């Protein structure tokens, strides 16, 4: 690569991520994050109680060029010095993904640089490879976000194997829907966490779905329905008076299921390290309980800084280090994929 011909330094990668409602660009230098810029549209979508794909795509379009500029500026380099460009191509909202894919293609084509396609979930897993204290495979990853909830065996840098995943709603989706019902706004995870601080997690005995045997799949839709029923049976005054208790109990049920399945996976399998990723991994009670579980079992736990849990482009750059760079013009016909 032109930048450091003859040197053994890792390539500089400019990464873009626009799969949902965050417009993100980052520059990574091996496992080091040189810059990681995220523009959240949460306030825009809060108005609608959730992400509106076309609104997200339009905002990505407005923001993406300046976010890339800021990422390059903060990294202290210009596009010329970048060795390759990476972008999330799947899964996500198709109209949102397309903005990132087309921007990355244009940037790469204009400078004749290679392009690397990244799977968003692999990005969440690969966030664990970043400094500080990079975690190297093998490890067990719990990824919980607004679109996905899964346990993955990470045996190599280039891929992951799904051991269990949600059969219905994702953990973050359940928190978002629960928060909407409780009138706490969007995104629901942080709103529920804040409200729950003043509540009693044992106030409402919400169900924790546990599949039979040693299954590692998750299910959150029954929990959501249970909240709907409990809420329906409370009068207006009680709904307000018990909102913190409802939030705390609901959050505890989501966290308990995540922790229970994580413990099952640890019991099943000889792991000595665990990584948490995805937006829900920003949750304080989840982090505390994972720390308690891992310390009890003598397993190393990699907790990411919050900005590497929620959607970001540094994690896409991290996965791209182990992806396949495609030389110009091989990527000009690339598309995005929702699934």
Q: What does 35-97 look like in DSSP terms, one character per residue?
A: EEEEEE-HHHHHTTTS--HHHHHHHHHHHHHHHHHHHHHHHT--GGG--EEEEEEESS-HHHH
Which residue number places its CB atom closest to ligand KG4? 189
The Cα 43–Cα 295 span in angstroms is: 37
The Cα 212–Cα 148 span in angstroms is: 21
CB-CB contact of 16 with 104 (8 Å): yes
Q: Does 323 bind ligand KG4 (CB under 6 A)?
A: no
Which residue number places its CB atom closest to Zn ion? 145
Q: Does 283 bind ligand KG4 (CB under 6 A)?
A: yes
Applying CB under 5 A, the span of 101-109, 141-149, 178-186, 318-326 interacting with Zn ion comes to 141-149
Nearer residue to Zn ion within complex by CB, 38 or 219: 38
The Cα 142–Cα 169 span in angstroms is: 16
The Cα 21–Cα 42 span in angstroms is: 7
Residue 48 burial by Cβ neighbours in a 10 Å radius (0-12, 13-18, 19+):
exposed
Q: Does 311 bind ligand KG4 (CB under 6 A)?
A: yes
Q: Nearest approach, Cβ of 232 to ligand KG4 (angstroms)? A: 23
Applying CB under 6 A, the span of 6-14, 76-84, 168-176, 329-337 interacting with ligand KG4 comes to 168-176
Q: Does 318 bind Zn ion (CB under 5 A)?
A: no
Q: Does 178 bind ligand KG4 (CB under 6 A)?
A: no
Choose from Zn ion, ligand KG4, none: what does 175 bind? Cβ within 5-8 Å by kind. Answer: ligand KG4
DSSP code of residue 302:
E
What track of x and - describes contact with ligand KG4 for positions 72 through 101 (by CB under 6 A)? ------------------------------
Q: Does 147 bind ligand KG4 (CB under 6 A)?
A: yes
Residue 232 burial by Cβ neighbours in a 10 Å radius (0-12, 13-18, 19+):
exposed
Q: Does 26 bind ligand KG4 (CB under 6 A)?
A: no
Task: Please work out, in degrees rounded to the nearest 5, the angle formed at the alpha carbon of residue 146 by the alpha carbons of 27 and 139.
Answer: 65
Nearer residue to Zn ion within complex by CB, 90 or 261: 90
Question: What are the phi and psi torsion angles at 274 (to 5°)?
Answer: -130, 140
The Cα 300–Cα 166 span in angstroms is: 25
The Cα 189–Cα 180 span in angstroms is: 10
Query: With CB under 6 A, what is the number of residues at the site for ligand KG4?
Result: 19
Q: Measured in Å, how far apart are the chain's first and last C-alpha atoms?
A: 33
Choose from Zn ion, ligand KG4, none: what does 187 bind? Cβ within 5-8 Å by kind. Answer: ligand KG4
Q: Does 173 bind Zn ion (CB under 5 A)?
A: no
Q: Does 22 bind Zn ion (CB under 5 A)?
A: no
Nearer residue to Zn ion within complex by CB, 91 or 199: 91
- Token digits for 269? 């399998």
Nearer residue to ligand KG4 within complex by CB, 82 or 99: 99
Query: From the list 17, 29, 119, 176, which residue makes contact with ligand KG4 (rule: CB under 6 A)?
Result: 176
Residues that bind Zn ion (CB under 5 A): 145, 311
Residues that bind ligand KG4 (CB under 6 A): 20, 145-147, 172, 175-176, 187-190, 193, 278-280, 282-283, 310-311
């Amino acid at each position: 690569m032109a930048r450091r011909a003859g040197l053994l330094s890792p390539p500089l990668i400019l990464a873009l991520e626009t799969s949902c409602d965050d417009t993100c660009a980052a520059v990574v230098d091996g496992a080091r994050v040189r810059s990681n810029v995220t523009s959240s549209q949460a306030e825009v979508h809060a108005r609608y109680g959730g992400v509106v794909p076309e609104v997200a795509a339009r905002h990505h379009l407005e923001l993406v060029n300046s976010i890339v500029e800021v990422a390059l500026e903060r990294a202290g380099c210009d596009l010329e010095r970048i060795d390759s460009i990476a972008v999330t191509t799947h899964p996500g909202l198709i109209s949102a993904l397309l903005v990132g894919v087309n921007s990355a293609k244009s940037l790469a084509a204009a400078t004749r640089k290679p392009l690397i396609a990244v799977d968003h979930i692999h990005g969440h897993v690969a966030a664990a490879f970043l400094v500080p204290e990079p975690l190297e495979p093998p490890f067990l990853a719990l990824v919980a976000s607004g679109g996905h909830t899964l346990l993955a065996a990470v045996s190599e840098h280039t891929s992951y194997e799904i051991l269990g995943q949600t059969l219905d709603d994702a953990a973050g989706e359940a928190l978002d829907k629960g928060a909407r019902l409780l009138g706490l706004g969007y995104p629901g995870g942080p709103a529920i966490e804040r409200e729950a601080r003043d509540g009693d997690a044992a106030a409402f005995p919400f169900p924790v779905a546990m599949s039979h045997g040693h299954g590692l799949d998750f299910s959150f839709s029954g929990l959501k329905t249970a909240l709907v029923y409990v809420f329906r049976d409370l009068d207006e005054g009680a709904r307000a008076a018990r909102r913190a208790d409802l939030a705390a109990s609901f959050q505890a049920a989501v966290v308990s299921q995540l922790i229970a399945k994580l413990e099952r996976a640890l019991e099943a399998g000889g792991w000595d390290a665990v990584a948490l990723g995805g937006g829900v991994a920003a949750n304080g009670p989840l982090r505390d309980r994972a720390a308690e579980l891992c310390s009890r079992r003598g397993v190393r736990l990699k907790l990411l800084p919050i900005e590497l849990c929620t959607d970001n482009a540094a994690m896409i750059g991290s996965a791209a280090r182990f992806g396949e760079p495609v030389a110009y013009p091989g990527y000009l016909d690339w598309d995005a994929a929702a699934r």
